[in-house]
Structure 1
Amino acid sequence: MKTILTALVATTALTGAAFAESHTDTITVGITQNNVGVDSYQTTYEQAFIEAAEGMDNVEAVVLDAGGDVARQIAQMQDLIQQQVDVIVIWPTNGQAVVPAVRAASQANIPVVVTNSNIAEEGFDFIASFSGPNNVQQGASSAELMCEALADDGQDPSEATGQIVQISGQPGYTTAIERQEGFEDRLAEACPGVEILETQPGDWNREKSQRVMENFLVKYDQIDGVYSGDDNMGVGALNAAKAADRVGEMALIGATNFAVGYEAMAAGEYYGSIYQSPVDDAQNALKTAIAVVNGEEVPFLNYFETPKITRDNMDEFSKPVF
Structure 2
Amino acid sequence: MKAKKICALLLSAAMVVTLAACGGSGKEGTSDGSSGSPAGENSDKKRVCFVARASADTFAAWLTSEMKKEAENYDDIKLTCVSGEGDDNKENGLLEDCVTKKYDLVIVQSNNNSAQAPYVQQLVDTGIPVITTNPTTHQSDLEGGDDNSVMKGTGTVDADPVAQAKVSADRAVKEVPENAKVVVLKGPSGNYHADKRREAWTEYFFDKRPDVEILYEDYANWNSDEALTLMESWVQSGTHIDAIISMNDNMAAGAIEAIRDDKEYVEDDGTPSFLAYGVDGTAQGCLLIQEGLLTSTALQSAADLAKKNMEYAEKIVNGEMDVTEVSDFVDAPEINKDNVQKYIQIYIDNGEIADDGLLNE
Q: Same fold (TM over 0.5)?
A: yes
Which of 308, 312, 316 is residue 288 of structure 1 equivalent to?
A: 312
Q: Which runs of 5+ in 1 are unaligned?
A: 10-23, 152-159
Which residue of the partner structure matches residue 67 of structure 1?
85
Counterparts of residues 73-152 of structure 1 (less than 5 Å): 73-122=91-140, 123=142, 124-150=150-176
Q: 1:26 to 1:242 in 2, by over 3 A?
A: closer
State the Cα distance separating 1:82 from its structure 2 match: 2.1
State the Cα distance separating 1:315 from its structure 2 match: 2.7
Partners in 2 of 1:308 and 1:41 — Cα distance?
17
State the Cα distance separating 1:49 from its structure 2 match: 1.0
State the Cα distance separating 1:107 from its structure 2 match: 1.0
Counterparts of residues 179-198 of structure 1 (less than 5 Å): 179-198=197-216
Secondary structure at the residue paired with 2:263? Answer: coil
Partners in 1 of 2:172 and 2:139 — Cα distance?
29
Q: 1:126 to 1:82 in 2, by over 3 A?
A: farther
Say what the alpha-carbon RMSD is for the aligned residues. 2.6
Partners in 2 of 1:4 and 1:181 — Cα distance?
34
Which residue of the partner structure matches residue 61 of structure 2?
43
> Partner letter of residue 139 of structure 1?
A
Partners in 1 of 2:315 and 2:332 — Cα distance?
23
> Partner letter of residue 76 of structure 1?
L
Q: 1:120 to 1:296 in 2, by over 3 A?
A: closer
Which of 225, 241, 257 is residue 243 of structure 2 equivalent to?
A: 225
Counterparts of residues 154-165 of structure 1 (less than 5 Å): 162-165=180-183
State the Cα distance separating 1:25 from its structure 2 match: 6.5
Partners in 2 of 1:114 and 1:7 — Cα distance?
19
Q: Which runs of 5+ in 2 are unaligned?
A: 1-20, 29-42, 143-149, 266-271, 353-358
Partners in 2 of 1:282 and 1:106 — Cα distance?
22
Partners in 2 of 1:185 and 1:291 — Cα distance?
39
State the Cα distance separating 1:316 from its structure 2 match: 3.1
Which of 314, 332, 338 is residue 312 of structure 1 equivalent to?
A: 338
Q: Is the 8 A contact 1:205 1:232 kept in 2?
A: yes
Question: Number of residue pairs matched?
Answer: 297
> Partner letter of residue 308 of structure 2?
N
Deviations 1:113-149 (A, max 9, x none): 0011223542433342221221121122221122233
Deviations 1:16-65 (A, max 9, x none): xxxxxxxx8732212111112x0343223222212211211111222222
Which residue of the partner structure matches residue 16 of structure 1?
none
Q: 1:78 to 1:269 in 2, by over 3 A?
A: closer
> Partner letter of residue 53 of structure 1?
A
TM-score, normalization: structure 2? 0.74
Partners in 1 of 2:200 and 2:182 — Cα distance?
16
Counterparts of residues 2-13 of structure 1 (less than 5 Å): 5=23, 7-8=26-27
Moved more, 125-134 or 200-209: 125-134
Give percent identity, aligned residues only. 21
Moved more, 75-84 or 91-100: 75-84
State the Cα distance separating 1:8 from its structure 2 match: 5.0
Which residue of the partner structure matches residue 277 of structure 1?
301
> Partner letter of residue 107 of structure 2?
V
Q: Is the 8 A contact 2:287 2:344 kept in 1?
A: no
Partners in 2 of 1:301 and 1:246 — Cα distance?
47
Partners in 2 of 1:301 and 1:90 — Cα distance?
14
Q: Which has the higher contact order (CA 8 A, sep 6+)?
A: 1
Deviations 1:69-102 (A, max 9, x none): 2222222212211222111100112111111111
Q: Is the 8 A contact 1:128 1:292 kept in 2?
A: no
TM-score, normalization: structure 1? 0.82
Which residue of the partner structure matches residue 178 of structure 1?
196
> Partner letter of residue 146 of structure 1?
A
Secondary structure at the residue paired with 1:63? Answer: strand
Q: 1:261 to 1:8 in 2, by over 3 A?
A: same
Deviations 1:166-194 (A, max 9, x none): 11122332222222122222213554443
> Partner letter of residue 280 of structure 1?
D
Which residue of the partner structure matches residue 155 of structure 1?
none
